[in-house]
RNA sequence: GUACCUGUAGCUCAAUUGGACAGAGCAUCUGACUACGGAUCAGAAGGUUGGGGGUUCGAUUCCCUCCAGGUACGCCA
């Protein structure tokens, strides 16, 4: 077999696609377009083999030959070692059937590899991932979980794929709300409440101050004045603001700890405050900005985008200016290959505008907006005003409680501390998985039932599979004290073993692809499918009762499944306890 | 008004970016050896992919149009 580890591992799809490309070029020299995508992909149905190549049909027009003839030429080429046989089917599909012997040897190599065959295409390049980014003085609610959990999964995926990741929590810590907050704090604050539950108190104050501003113009003017003082560096206001930020962060960090999320940088909008005038002068120098109705705006008709205000008519900077300052600062300081923003769908236009302006300013960094659908409640959008927000902390509490009830029922022999620990991992895992297992861009309607699902396609199903394997491995050691599975080769005899092997070998592609298209759900799907095949294997193929040799081979497969599930779930930020 | 997004089984969601008969999980119905852990497994049933046109060998995917819902759009972030 090929020496796939010598230059870093390559994935199954890469091996087969490279081969197919080479075979096409050899069969039709000079006529195959350079950009040919000879993509070999997993088949949807086992009867068509393990992988398929569909390029023959696409090539038919270019080569002016029938697709079946082209497919036949591919099928007749010298096969790669991984492939047992090739078949032409339908209008011109080429089906690949992998060789069980080859798979067995490859799995043995994967088992010995800490990275389980996953390559490192990042090659040390830098990427900034901007996610979570809650607003200071407001509680995190269920709407924040998507950015946090999806962003964190992308963070972990990129790190594992060899990127130097800078996870940046771009706090909303600057803006007009602070005038109202300062006024409110001076008049309505309850010091004891502020100490014990700072964000709840700040929220209460804000709402009260906001309501008052609606009916009292003098109050609103005073709030504006406080904001100006804050922005001019007034010591008292500055100290208050600082206190708001610190108290908020304390609460955010409590949630991040529960979610096992951490950042390399926590830089709020205020961090870039000093750079705002510089951005405006640069835009002026490059003649990108124009005055309109007192405001400074950038026209983006050439990009088919509406006009973008970068400085308001009262001289204050807005969100676009802050984000331009932020992105140029990141580019200068870290020279990233890419900056990834993880926010909800409402900011699509904003980022398209900011990216367009950044490009006009000469910024070459790849900028990506990974947006996700807004979280809604069955009765509609939630809002602070309607009072129907569900706080993130409450969701996590509820998840752990429900999980605890089930653990107590199913594992009564476990001591209580252990039960709580398992319930924590299972509950938090379920909440994360509920978000990570669906396409980020779909609309999400929040229901308790879905967020806390503990069976079927859910984190606990995967955790259960892991726990069961851990238990099997223990039993093996108990019953066969001198046994060493690694001393025996892997054999793929049963159809279910073969199916399992094919799934196991797809892991690297699942990881690479999930990161490439910014969709953790592709990895979640993969892990779920692997678990399903494993569960079928577990239920239908005896292994501890099998004869020596076969037994060890099957134990090795179990071990591999556990390693892949653990690694995959870790990449999604989900824990895998030994027992659940 | 303009732009973007969404619409798939009763419900909640997938579908490797144009591939083969559209797949899972809930829920419903049938089954599973005193067994390595039943949070499981084997199976059944469930569909005009919002409607209608078009491109293509081939469309949930691309184009046009209509319907329904959502979001954003010169001084909130």
CA distances from A209 to A141, A181, A203, A205, A220 (A): 21, 7, 10, 6, 9
Per DSSP bridges, beta strands A164-168 and A126-130 are parallel
Nucleotide with minimal C1' distance from the CA of A426 is B39
Helix (H, G, I), strand (E, B) or coil at A560: helix
**C1' (B46) to CA (A456) span, angstroms:** 18
**What SS3 string covers A495-541?**
HHHHHHHHHHCCHHHHHHHHHHCCCHHHHHHHHHHHHHHHHHHHHHC
pLDDT of residue A40: 93
Cα pseudo-dihedral A106, A108, A111, A116, rounded to 10: -10
Name the protein residue, with chain letter, whose CA is nearest the C1' of B17: A517
- Are A494 and A543 in contact, with CB atoms under 8 Å apart? no
Q: What is the mean pLDDT of residues A449-453?
A: 81
Residue A339 has pLDDT above 50, yes or no: yes
User: Percent of chain A having pLDDT more than 70?
Assistant: 96
Q: What is the mean pLDDT of residues A466-493?
A: 94
pLDDT of residue A382: 67
**C1' (B66) to CA (A327) span, angstroms:** 42
**C1' (B53) to CA (A59) span, angstroms:** 29
What positions of strand B are covered by protein, i.e. any atom < 7 Å from a CB? Answer: 3-7, 12-17, 19-21, 23-26, 36-42, 57-58, 69-77
Nucleotide with minimal C1' distance from the CA of A446 is B12
Nucleotide with minimal C1' distance from the CA of A440 is B13
**C1' (B33) to CA (A559) span, angstroms:** 26
- CA A345 from chain center: how many Å? 16
**C1' (B37) to CA (A435) span, angstroms:** 28
- Are A95 and A87 in contact, with CB atoms under 8 Å apart? yes
Q: How many CB atoms lie within 10 A of CB A330?
A: 23
Among A92, A112, A117, smallest CA distance to A14 is for A117
Give the model's confidence band at A569: pLDDT under 50 very low, under 70 low, under 90 confident, else very high. very high
Name the protein residue, with chain letter, whose CA is nearest the C1' of B12: A450
Residue A522 has pLDDT above 60, yes or no: yes
Per DSSP bridges, beta strands A126-130 and A338-344 are parallel
Among A156, A118, A100, smallest CA distance to A436 is for A156
Q: How many CB atoms lie within 10 A of CB A17?
A: 20
Q: How many CA atoms lie within 13 A of A37 on its CB side?
A: 5
Q: What is the mean pLDDT of residues A538-553?
A: 92
pLDDT of residue A501: 96
Name the protein residue, with chain letter, whose CA is nearest the C1' of B22: A44
**C1' (B20) to CA (A103) span, angstroms:** 25
pLDDT of residue A17: 92
pLDDT (tens digit, 9 = 90+) per residue, A265-294? Answer: 999 999 999 999 999 999 999 999 999 999
- Are A567 and A523 in contact, with CB atoms under 8 Å apart? no
pLDDT of residue A1: 47
Alpha helix (H) residue ranges in A197-234: 198-215, 217-231
Whose tokens are 């947006």? That residue is A371
pLDDT (tens digit, 9 = 90+) per residue, A10-58? Answer: 899 999 999 998 899 888 887 776 656 678 999 988 889 999 999 999 8
pLDDT (tens digit, 9 = 90+) per residue, A236-250? Answer: 999 999 999 999 999
Whose tokens are 């009072």? That residue is A387
Q: How many CA atoms lie within 13 A of A42 on its CB side?
A: 17
Q: What is the mean pLDDT of residues A513-534?
A: 95
Residue A351 has pLDDT above 70, yes or no: yes
Cα pseudo-dihedral A37, A39, A45, A46, rounded to 10: 140
Report the distance separating Cα A510 and Cα A11, nearest Å: 10
**C1' (B60) to CA (A246) span, angstroms:** 49
Nucleotide with minimal C1' distance from the CA of A545 is B36
pTM, two decimals, is 0.95
Per the DSSP assignment, residues forming a β-bridge with A121 are: none
pLDDT of residue A176: 82
Report the distance separating Cα A481 and Cα A199, nearest Å: 57
**C1' (B40) to CA (A346) span, angstroms:** 42
Handedness of CA A527, A532, A533, A537 (dihedral sign): positive
User: Percent of chain A having pLDDT more than 90?
Assistant: 73
Name the protein residue, with chain letter, whose CA is nearest the C1' of B73: A306
């Amino acid at each position: 077999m090929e020496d796939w580890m010598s230059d870093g591992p390559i994935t199954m799809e890469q091996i087969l696609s490279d081969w197919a490309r080479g075979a096409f070029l050899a069969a039709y020299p000079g006529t195959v377009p350079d950009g040919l995508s000879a993509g070999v992909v997993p088949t949807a149905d086992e009867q068509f083999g393990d992988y398929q190549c569909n390029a023959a049909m696409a090539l038919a027009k270019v080569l002016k030959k029938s697709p079946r003839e082209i497919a036949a030429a591919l099928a007749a080429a010298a096969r790669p070692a991984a492939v047992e046989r090739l078949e032409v089917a339908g209008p011109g599909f080429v089906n690949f059937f992998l060789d069980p012997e080859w798979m067995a040897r490859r799995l043995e190599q994967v088992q010995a590899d800490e990275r389980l065959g996953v390559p490192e295409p990042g090659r040390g390049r830098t990427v900034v991932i901007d996610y979570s980014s809650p607003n200071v003085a407001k509680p995190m609610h269920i709407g924040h979980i998507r950015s946090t959990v999806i962003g964190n999964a992308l963070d972990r995926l990129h790190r594992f794929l060899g990127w130097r990741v800078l996870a940046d929590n771009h706090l909303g810590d600057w803006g007009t709300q602070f005038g109202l907050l300062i006024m409110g704090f001076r008049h309505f604050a309850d010091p004891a409440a502020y100490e014990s539950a700072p964000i709840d108190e700040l929220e209460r104050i804000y709402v009260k101050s906001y309501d008052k501003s609606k009916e009292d113009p003098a109050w609103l003017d005073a709030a504006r004045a406080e904001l100006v003082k804050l922005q001019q560096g007034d010591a008292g206001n500055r100290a208050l603001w600082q206190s708001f930020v610190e108290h908020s962060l304390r609460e955010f960090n409590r949630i991040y700890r529960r979610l096992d999320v951490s950042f390399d940088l926590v830089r709020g909008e205020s961090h870039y405050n000093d750079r705002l005038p510089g951005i405006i002068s640069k835009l002026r120098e490059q003649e990108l900005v124009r005055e309109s109705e007192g405001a400074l705006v950038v026209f983006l008709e050439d990009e088919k985008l509406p006009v973008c205000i970068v400085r308001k008519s009262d001289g204050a900077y807005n969100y676009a200016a802050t984000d331009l300052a932020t992105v140029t600062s990141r580019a200068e300081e870290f020279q990233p290959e890419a900056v990834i923003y993880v926010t909800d769908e409402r900011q699509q236009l904003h980022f398209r505008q900011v990216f367009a302006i950044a490009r006009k300013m000469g910024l070459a960094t790849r900028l990506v907006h990974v947006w996700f659908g807004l979280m809604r409640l069955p009765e509609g959008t939630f809002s602070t005003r309607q009072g129907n927000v569900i706080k993130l902390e409450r969701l996590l509490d509820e998840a752990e409680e429900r999980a605890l009830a089930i653990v107590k029922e199913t594992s009564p022999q476990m001591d209580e501390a252990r039960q709580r620990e398992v319930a924590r991992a299972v509950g938090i895992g379920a909440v994360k998985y509920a978000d990570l297992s669906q396409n980020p861009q779909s609309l999400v309607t929040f229901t308790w039932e879905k967020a806390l699902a503990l069976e079927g396609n859910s984190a606990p199903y995967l955790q259960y599979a892991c726990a069961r394997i851990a238990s099997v491995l223990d039993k093996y050691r108990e019953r066969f004290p001198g046994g060493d599975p690694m001393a025996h080769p892997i054999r793929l005899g049963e159809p279910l073993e073969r199916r399992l092997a094919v799934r196991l070998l797809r892991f690297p592609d699942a990881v690479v692809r999930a990161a490439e298209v910014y969709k953790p759900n592709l990895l979640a799907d993969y892990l779920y499918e692997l678990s399903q095949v494993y569960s079928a294997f577990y239920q239908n193929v005896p292994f501890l009762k099998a004869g020596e040799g076969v037994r060890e081979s099957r134990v090795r497969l179990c071990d591999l499944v556990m390693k892949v599930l653990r690694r995959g779930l870790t990449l999604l930020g989900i824990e895998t306890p030994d027992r659940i």
